[in-house]
Amino acid sequence: MAIETGDTLPEANFTMLGDSGPTSVPLADKTKGRKIVIFAVPGAFTPTCHSAHVPSFIRTKDQFAANGVDEIICVSVNDPFIMKTWGEASGATEAGITMLADADSSFTKAVGMEFSAPPVGFFNRSKRYAMVVDDGKVTALNVEPDTGCSVSAGEGLLEEM
Ligand code: BEZ
């Protein structure tokens, strides 16, 4: 079942490429006592993810900060190497957006957001969505009905705050 507003996020571990290689990033370290935004994409470097979704959060990051958001995190079912490269290529890392890999899709499955698109080679990826999480609890959630980027864009999520 898909996660809903008012639910608490499950325990999860992401992977991030640090200076000495891939490191595990417990979700609890990001959520405990903090307000964060998580936006999830079907894949690194896909046209909409790269040209619309990430740029929308680069554009709006200051407005989220003004609304008390401590960190904006991009999640994709990809490996940490590609997430690091994508963060650099898209400008997300320079903008302060954290790029986390849900490499085994365990977080995506736990929140009920699995998405497959066999014609483009996507299996067990993530739907496109964005959420505000306050101390582990989902306080706003916008899920796209398709692969487009509208309600889950930075501007769309800001309307929920
Ligand atoms: C895109 O981001 O453009 C996209 C994502 C998933 C499937 C097809 C396209």
Q: What ranges do the domains of the chain cover? A: 13-158
Residues in the chain: 161
At position 52, the amino acid (one-letter code) is A
Map residue 132 onto helix, strand or coil: strand
Tokens describing residue 3: 């996660």
Q: 13-158 — its CATH code?
A: 3.40.30.10
Q: Is the pLDDT reported for residue 1 higher than 90? A: no
When the pLDDT of each residue in the chain is averaged and rounded to a whole number, the result is: 97
Map residue 59 onto helix, strand or coil: helix
The atom of ligand 1 lying closest to the CA of 115 is 6
Is the C-beta atom of 152 inside 6 A of ligand 1? no
What's the whole-model pTM score?
Answer: 0.97
What pLDDT is attached to residue 52? 98
What pLDDT is attached to residue 160? 96
How many angstroms is it from 33 CA to the middle of ligand 1?
34
Over residues 47-63, the mean pLDDT reads 98
Question: In terms of DSSP bridges, do strands 114-117 and 122-126 run parallel, antiparallel, or are they unpaired?
Answer: antiparallel
The active-site residue out of 49, 77, 103, 158 is 49
Is the C-beta atom of 28 inside 6 A of ligand 1? no
Distance (Å, rounded) from C-alpha 16 to C-alpha 103? 10
What pLDDT is attached to residue 89? 98
What are the backbone dihedrals phi and psi of residue 20, each rounded to the nearest 5 degrees, phi first?
-110, 25
Taking the CA atoms of residue 106, residue 103, residue 50 and residue 56 in that order, the dihedral angle to the nearest 10 degrees is 40
Question: In terms of DSSP bridges, do strands 71-76 and 98-101 run parallel, antiparallel, or are they unpaired?
Answer: parallel
What pLDDT is attached to residue 111? 98
In this predicted model, what pLDDT tens digit does every residue of 6-45 receive, in sequence order? 999 999 999 999 999 999 999 999 999 999 999 999 999 9
Is the C-beta atom of 77 inside 6 A of ligand 1? no
Cα 48 from chain centre: 14
Over residues 117-138, the mean pLDDT reads 97
In this predicted model, what pLDDT tens digit does every residue of 72-113 receive, in sequence order? 999 999 999 999 999 999 999 999 999 999 999 999 999 999
